[in-house]
Structure 1
Amino acid sequence: MAVQKMLKFVTVDRDMPEKRPPNLRKEDFQEIYGEFAKAKAEEQSGRCSQCGVPYCQSHCPLHNNIPDWLRLTAENRLQEAYEISQATNTFPEICGRICPQDRLCEGNCVIEQSGHGTVTIGAVEKYITDTAFDEGWVQPIRPAQERAESVAIIGAGPGGLAAADRLRRAGLQVTVYDRYDRGGGLMTYGIPGFKLEKDIVMKRMAQLEDGGVEFVMNCNVGEDISFDAIRGKHDAVLIATGVYKSRDLQAPGSGASGIVRAIDYLTASNRIGFGDEVPEYDSGELNASGKKVVVIGGGDTAMDCVRTAIRQGAESVKCLYRRDKANMPGSQREVANAEEEGVEFVWLSAPKGFTGDMIEGVMVQKMRLGAPDVSGRQMPELIEGSDYVEDADLVIKALGFEPEDLPALWGVEGLEVTRWGTVKAEFTTGKTSLPGVYAAGDIVRGASLVVWAIRDGRDSADAILEYLATTTSVAAE
């Protein structure tokens, strides 16, 4: 009689991979969670209730076949589990590490709603693909047939790379243009190693290069090559630049030395991890060592900054956010990790200004939550007479990102943008106002999650394949 492998959520408790103690993990930039052992991965996968209507799957932007690969893992059919996982997700080992599962798949797990604790979906997803790499199940990209059509992708972030993978597997000639010296976008230079170790990203980059994707690095479109030149060289173009323009803070003293942008701070730290020379880090400008650090913002980028500052040896790290903990946009799991590591959160607080030519302090005004706005979130209101000064040697602005003005930057006429500055593109296909030009990821939807960029990149790749099939058949006639 076959042993029942699933539906064990009543008898088996939820369990995560072992998390390194805060006093040890804050000394380095290695990932904080260990790996599941084979038996533990099978045990935790077996807690899945195999729902008839799996909310975990419907709430995943990629609609990953989560119940299927959980069942296969529980049955020790791990290679099949990997193949099912890879079928819908270009980078499952990355999503398993950095997706906010508490807001997506795990947050909508049916057994979580019944009080038994969610299945640890992200940890199992990570385990499956890490094992696949170790066992050699991750196959090189080898198209069955080469095609003559050529596609340019501007941006080597998750959206651009997901599209490159899909287009190259279809046999198209793919060239990726990127402004940085390494691919991966924010996965490489924005997200710290303790959430996503960089060899994970570089492994996928190597797979794409080995599969025939051409990368043109250190290439600024509009400076090193024009957008029109790219269009002239290729049959279709995908814009996947992401959004890199930092939102600014207009307040008295905001020009003081020692107030830096989150993207600059995180990029410097990640470059140090690669062994690069970073003068701004060595000089202390982008280094928190021995300093009183104040981070302004409440999203995932702010969490990355506070946890990086702890690891750099800051004297103290405080995070100012204008709403309370329940209303912050960042992952609650990340907040908990930051608190364990010694970060102090100053809720219902907003910067009013800054003191000193070389930053000495942040003028803080206290807030309370008032009536909800159109989105339903309570609006912060100023409490008169509650101002005070928070000492600071380094202030990091993590206020979110906005799109650059691509039509002006690239000198492109006819590329329509929205009133927010994002590229105006057709839903699901990414088709823009210019023939043969598509757009995907944050440059269309605004600053969002890696998993959404992967979804958009895959969708746009499919639309490009359909477009090229149509134009090729018309040309043949």
Structure 2
Amino acid sequence: MAKQPMLKFVKIERDMPQKRDAEERRGDFHEIYAEYAAAKAQEQASRCSQCGVPYCQSHCPLQNNIPDWLHLTATGRLKEAYEVSQATNTFPEICGRICPQDRLCEGNCVIEQSGHGTVTIGSVEKYITDTAWENGWVTPAAPAQERSESVGIIGAGPGGLAAADMLRRAGVQVTVYDRYDRAGGLLTYGIPGFKLEKDVVMRRNQQLEAGGVTFVLNCTVGEDIGFEELRQKHDAVIIATGVYKSRDLGGPGSGAEGIEKAIEFLTASNRKSFGDTVEAFESGRLNAAGKRVVVIGGGDTAMDCVRTSIRQGAESVKCLYRRDRANMPGSQREVANAEEEGVEFVWLSAPKGFVSGKDDKVSGVMVQKMRLGAPDASGRQSPEVIEGADYVEEADLVIKALGFEPEELPTLWDQPELTVTRWGTIRAEFTTGQTDLPGVYAVGDIVRGASLVVWAIRDGRDCAAAILNEFDGKAAVAAE
């Protein structure tokens, strides 16, 4: 009888890849988790119970065939595991690094619910694709036949790049337009290197370019090229701009020097990691070194800011969040990593204003203490102010990480017919991304609002499939 390669969760405990010591990782921007060795990846994959209803798969936005590639990994068939993994996910090595698995696949693992500790799905996914890169299994698009249709994609973030990859593999002529000097969007400039080292993103950009995707960088639609011009130039246009407009925070003293936006702080730090000259960093404005830093917010962007501040050499780093730990939107794994690295979380605290010293430089945050009251419409308990419990949290640098909103694209692009929702996101058809404008599609955060990278990838892939169906339908009619 053949030996059972799976269902070993009873005998083998969950074991994450080794995490670098907190003191060591505070000094650099390298990823904090080591890679699995082959034997360890095989061992951890073998813990999968191969359950009949795989909740890990159903709770993955991409519906990844997780049990299948875990089984293939456990039996040493890594190339097949990679092929199954990339069949549903354009960037599995990126998702393996930055997806909040504790809220998605791993958080819904059946053996986790039974008390045995979830399968380390994200770490195995990362190992599979990193191994594929090392062995040359990841190849550029090589369509069997070129097509005449052309698609222009506005935005080189995960949604736009996922669509570009699928369309190019089908032979479509693809041009990606982006306002930045490097493709990748928030993967490049928003997410710090300790979560996603930049060579991982750059090699994907290079792979897409080698497969025939054309990148037009340093190009702002509405300024360097008109939206209507893009519509005339391409058979279809995909809007994948993401949402980059920071939510603001008012209150007394909110205009003081030293109160900065999270996206500007993180972009400056990532540019420094590339070796760029960043004037705002060199001047000290977007540099946390030697400063008492207060980050306001409780999402993943706030976690990126506090951990970046630690690495820049901040004197102290505190994170203010208006709810408690159990109700914060960010990954609990990221919170634990931040605490290990020296970040202090100040729960049930919200800013009501700012204190400034000489030269109108911020010197503190006026904090009001909160308690959780009755649930709101979403079911979460609403924060309520505790009267008389205000105090001042000293700070030299305050970073606002309160989320992002969409830019007013119909106005910026002079396209009043481009319909938006009451939140300012583009109104687009579910699954296809089709907007009210013929031949114009939209994917990712510009449709959903600020969301996860994995959802942007899903939207990009779905949209590409819809566009290909549209092209095929028109070709069939023309052939009749």
Q: TM-score, normalised by structure 1?
A: 0.99
> What is the CA-CA distance between 1:207 and the residue it aligns to?
0.4
8 Å CA contact retained: 1:436, 1:467: no
Please name the residue that 1:361 is paired with.
364
The 1-side partners of 2:107 and 2:117 are apart by 10
> What is the CA-CA distance between 1:316 and the residue it aligns to?
0.1
Give the match's secondary structure for 1:230.
Answer: helix
Please name the residue that 2:249 is paired with.
249
Any idea what the Cα deviations from partners look like across 1:328-387, whole Å, max 9, x if unmatched?
000000000000000000000000100111010100000000000010000000000111
The one-letter code matched in structure 1 to 2:381 is Q
Give the match's secondary structure for 2:387.
Answer: coil
Please name the residue that 1:169 is paired with.
169
> What is the CA-CA distance between 1:164 and the residue it aligns to?
0.1
Any idea what the Cα deviations from partners look like across 1:432-474, whole Å, max 9, x if unmatched?
0000000000000000000000000000001111112223334
Please name the residue that 1:83 is paired with.
83
8 Å CA contact retained: 1:414, 1:433: yes
Please name the residue that 2:183 is paired with.
183
Alignment of 1:100-111 (within 5 A): 100-111=100-111
**2:320 is the alignment partner of 1:320:** yes
The 2-side partners of 1:7 and 1:269 are apart by 44
Please name the residue that 1:40 is paired with.
40
Give the match's secondary structure for 2:362.
Answer: coil
> What is the CA-CA distance between 1:140 and the residue it aligns to?
2.0
Alignment of 1:32-181 (within 5 A): 32-181=32-181
Any idea what the Cα deviations from partners look like across 1:187-207, whole Å, max 9, x if unmatched?
000000000000000010000
Any idea what the Cα deviations from partners look like across 1:48-90, whole Å, max 9, x if unmatched?
0001110000000000000000000000000000000000000
Give the match's secondary structure for 1:122.
Answer: helix
The 1-side partners of 2:247 and 2:126 are apart by 33
> What is the CA-CA distance between 1:43 and the residue it aligns to?
0.3
Structure 2 residue runs without a partner (length 5+): none
**2:10 is the alignment partner of 1:10:** yes
The one-letter code matched in structure 2 to 1:93 is E
**2:469 is the alignment partner of 1:469:** no
Match of 2:392 among 369, 389, 403: 389
The 2-side partners of 1:339 and 1:430 are apart by 40
Give the match's secondary structure for 1:360.
Answer: strand
> What is the CA-CA distance between 1:475 and the residue it aligns to?
4.2
The one-letter code matched in structure 1 to 2:177 is Y
Alignment of 1:429-440 (within 5 A): 429-440=432-443
> What is the CA-CA distance between 1:476 and the residue it aligns to?
4.6
**2:428 is the alignment partner of 1:425:** yes
The 2-side partners of 1:234 and 1:106 are apart by 41
The 1-side partners of 2:79 and 2:435 are apart by 39
Aligned-residue CA RMSD in angstroms?
A: 0.7
* Paired residue total: 477
8 Å CA contact retained: 1:152, 1:175: yes
8 Å CA contact retained: 1:184, 1:201: yes
The 2-side partners of 1:80 and 1:461 are apart by 25
Please name the residue that 2:301 is paired with.
301
The 1-side partners of 2:442 and 2:330 are apart by 26
Give the match's secondary structure for 2:295.
Answer: strand
Structure 1 residue runs without a partner (length 5+): none
The 2-side partners of 1:239 and 1:462 are apart by 15
The 2-side partners of 1:302 and 1:333 are apart by 13
Please name the residue that 1:20 is paired with.
20
The one-letter code matched in structure 1 to 2:421 is T
Please name the residue that 1:213 is paired with.
213
8 Å CA contact retained: 1:243, 1:402: yes
Any idea what the Cα deviations from partners look like across 1:156-194, whole Å, max 9, x if unmatched?
000000000000000000000000000000000000000
Give the match's secondary structure for 2:174.
Answer: strand
The 2-side partners of 1:115 and 1:191 are apart by 32
